[in-house]
Every structure is written in C-alpha cells, then in structure tokens.
C-alpha cells in the first residue's frame, strides 16, 4: 500500500472515531497533546526530561487563560488583535523590512533582518525540540486569520520573540544612538511599547499562547537583539568585503542550521518559516558583500519624509513592493525549481510531499512528522534568499531608471 493510501485510510478512521470523541480526543488534532509515552519513545532522555519539566507549566494553563480571554473579550478587541497579529507574519516582514533600505537606511534593515531571522529560527528550533502544546481549544477560543499557525507547537512564541527583539532594538536606537529631544524619545518609546504590548498581549487574548510561551519567546528575542548589537561592539572594524569567504560561509552556515534542525515528533509547519528567514539572512549577506566588494553604486538615495515628497515616496514604495512581489510570487518558484530539477538534476518529490500534507490535514489526530524533501528545502531557501537580492540589487536599478 502506498504512503498516500495509508494516510488516507488513517485519516478516514480518525474522522470516523472523532464523530463521538470527547474533548481530550479532539485536542489530539493539535501537536503536543499526546500522552508522555508518545514523546518518550521518540526523544533523547535529556530532551524528554526537559519537556516533562516544562509541561508542568502548560498542562493546567488552558482554564485560566480561557477565563482571562472571556473576561476581556469584546468585538472591537477581537478585530484589533486578530488583524494586528499580521504584524508577526512573514509576508508582512517581506513587505515592511525592505522599506528602510529604499529610503537610505541600510543599517536599520540589516539589523532587523538579523534579529528577526535568528529569532524565528531559534524559536522554531525550540518549538520542535520541546514539542509543547498551545493552550487547548476548547476551553480557549482561538481568534486567528490563519489556521496555519494553530498547527504549530506553543513555546516559545515567535510573535513575542520578534516583538521583543525589535522593540529592544528600537529602544536602544532611540535612547543610545539618537540625538532626539527627551520629549521625542519619550513619545517614540511609548509607540514602541504600544506595538510590543499589542503583539504580546494579543497572543493571550487570541488564545494562541500561554505564559511560558511568552516568557521563553521574550528571552529568545532578547538574546537575538544582544547578539546583533554585541557583534558590532566586539568587531567594530569588521568589513565583509575584505574577505572572499564571507558569502560562502554564510551559505554553508545557513544550510548547516537548516539541515541540522531538530526533527519534531508531530508534524509542525514552523520549520518552513525558519527556512524562509535563514534564506533571507544569507541573501542579505551575499548581496551586501557583492555591493561592497565591487563598489556597486546601488545605494538608494535618502528622502526626507515631508509633505512635498509624498508622491515621490509613494511611487518608490509602490515600485519597490511590486518588484518584490513579482520575484516572490511570479518569477521565483518556476525559475528556481526548473533550475534544481532540469539543471542540477535533483529528484522532484514535491507532488508526493504536498499530497501527504493535504491528507494529514483531514485527520482528526495530528500526524507524525513527515519531513521535508531536499528539493523543497533548497528551493524555499533560494527563493527567500532572492528577496533581499531583489531589494538591494534590483530595486535601486529600477528606481534610477524611473528617476525615483
């Protein structure tokens, strides 16, 4: 019997069983909710002990979180937190992160990409390592625009990791690196904290995370922020363009991190985000090295954010965003996979892989980890590495051609 047929049979049986199942059975559709024995036989002793220790903070959280949620809920907040959660989605980052570069603020985007990229990777690694559940629904009600995120493990919260890292970075820039007046610093800090609380509190309000998830996510984000800032303090004179091994090392380290990523017990899609962001980091490294090494005149001119420049700013934003969208959603996939299949001669296992994923979604019980085929990992890595290359190498050329 084929793998697909076996999965279909299991899915059918699971659906039949689920017709009269109780809440405990229903929770098995989410990763991390199986009994301890399910994880013990598939984890190393140390990994299992860590999970067992941490489950004491997740086993009994759902009722408390449900009470908090029901106390706070109202239609306005439902809409606000549901849509503000999009600020933690990778599509939002693809559109938002390039903007500083297009207006002459290269270092801002560079630092944010490193913080976001490694926050996503580290939080995803720990999610798959610990295999801890999200708050159970019911009793918690999940308020989300994407069912994709509900299929991930709980701790650490990647939204919280990202929010912590970027908020710490902006506060550092405001209070340490800027010459703003005290009033301006205070107002900007209030704005940063409002953004931070929106994303973090929203995770609890939307029933997506518990307190352990938030605390661990905050530590991940803080560690990535400190790592980024610490590098500049430890190596203030480092110039990547002086070393030919920089782009090679970036690609090697990136692929090593992805191929050595821990395998989860239950199927969990958060690895896809890790591949995407590590690809972005590597693409940024290579593009930056290329510009500096060959002294390419591809730096976008600075534009003052004044009313008289509104049309100029909007035009550059529109052209830049459209260029990135064309690469990401039109050109990249057929080009990259044609190259990998026809020229590199990699075995194309995408059809079977996606069929298995679609079948597991029908099951009432969360499937065991399937794994990602080599071509899917490399293809996604290259596609997302092409995003910063498009932003840094292609967009400035288009801006100059259009006199933007």
Walking along the chain (404 residues) 10 residues at a time, the average pLDDT comes out as 42 39 62 87 93 91 89 90 84 84 88 93 94 88 78 89 94 89 94 94 90 95 94 86 90 94 86 91 93 83 76 90 92 93 85 71 71 89 94 92 87
Measured distance CA(279)–CA(171) in Å, rounded:
27
Checking 309-312 for CB contacts under 8 A at 24+ apart, the result is 312/404
The pLDDT of residue 167: 95
Of the residues 159, 261, 312, 354, only one is catalytic, namely 159
Number of neighbours of residue 217 by Cβ within 10 angstroms = 30
Measured distance CA(224)–CA(164) in Å, rounded:
9
The pLDDT of residue 26: 61
The pLDDT of residue 18: 39
Tokens of 378: 């490399």
60 is catalytic: no
List phi, psi (to 5°) of 113: -65, -45
Of the residues 26, 209, 312, 357, only one is catalytic, namely 209
Tell me the whole-structure pTM to 2 decimals.
Answer: 0.87
- DSSP, collapsed to helix, strand or coil, labels residue 266 as strand
The pLDDT of residue 247: 93
159 is catalytic: yes
Element (H, E) at 326: helix 310-326
Number of neighbours of residue 192 by Cβ within 10 angstroms = 19
Number of neighbours of residue 32 by Cβ within 10 angstroms = 27
Spatial neighbors of 383 by CB under 8 A, at least 6 apart, are 279, 328, 332, 333, 336
Residue with tokens 């903070």: 57
DSSP secondary structure, 345-366, as one string: -----HHHHHHHHHHHTT-SSP
């Amino acid at each position: 019997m084929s793998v697909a047929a076996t999965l279909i049979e299991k899915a059918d049986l699971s659906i039949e069983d689920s017709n009269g199942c109780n809440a405990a059975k229903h929770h098995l559709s989410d990763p991390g909710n199986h009994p301890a024995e399910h994880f013990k036989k598939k984890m190393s002793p140390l990994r299992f002990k860590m999970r067992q220790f941490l489950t004491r903070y997740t086993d009994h959280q759902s009722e408390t979180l449900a009470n908090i949620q029901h106390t706070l809920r109202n239609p306005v907040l439902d809409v606000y937190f549901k849509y503000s959660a999009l600020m933690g989605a990778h599509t939002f980052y693809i559109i938002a992160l390039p903007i500083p570069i297009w207006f002459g603020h290269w270092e801002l985007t560079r630092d944010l990409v490193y913080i976001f990229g490694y926050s996503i990777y580290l939080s995803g690694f720990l999610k798959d390592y610990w295999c801890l559940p999200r708050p159970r629904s019911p009793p918690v009600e999940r308020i989300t625009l994407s069912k994709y995120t509900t299929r991930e493990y709980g701790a650490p919260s990647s939204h919280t990791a990202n929010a912590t890292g970027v908020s710490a970075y902006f506060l550092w820039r405001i209070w340490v690196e800027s010459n703003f007046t005290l009033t301006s610093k205070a107002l900007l800090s209030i704005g940063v904290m409002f953004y931070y609380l929106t994303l973090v509190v929203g995770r609890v309000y939307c029933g997506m995370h518990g307190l352990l998830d938030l605390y661990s996510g905050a530590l991940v984000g803080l560690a990535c922020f400190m790592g980024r800032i610490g590098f500049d303090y430890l190596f203030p004179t480092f110039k990547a363009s002086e070393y030919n091994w920089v782009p090679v090392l970036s690609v090697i380290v990136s692929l090593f991190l992805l191929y050595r990523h821990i395998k989860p017990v239950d199927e969990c899609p958060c690895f896809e985000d890790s591949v995407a962001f590590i690809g972005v980091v590597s693409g940024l490294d290579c593009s930056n090295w290329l510009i500096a090494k060959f002294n390419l005149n591809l730096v976008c001119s600075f534009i003052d954010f004044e009313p008289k420049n509104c049309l100029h700013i909007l035009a550059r934003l529109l052209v830049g965003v459209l260029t990135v969208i064309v690469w990401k959603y039109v050109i990249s996939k057929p080009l990259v996979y044609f190259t990998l299949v026809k020229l590199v001669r990699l075995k194309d296992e995408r059809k079977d892989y996606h069929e298995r994923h679609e079948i597991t979604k029908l099951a009432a019980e969360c499937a065991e980890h399937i794994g990602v085929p080599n071509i899917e990992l490399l293809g996604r890595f290259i596609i997302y590495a092409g995003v910063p290359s498009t932003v840094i190498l292609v967009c400035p050329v288009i801006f100059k051609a259009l006199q933007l």
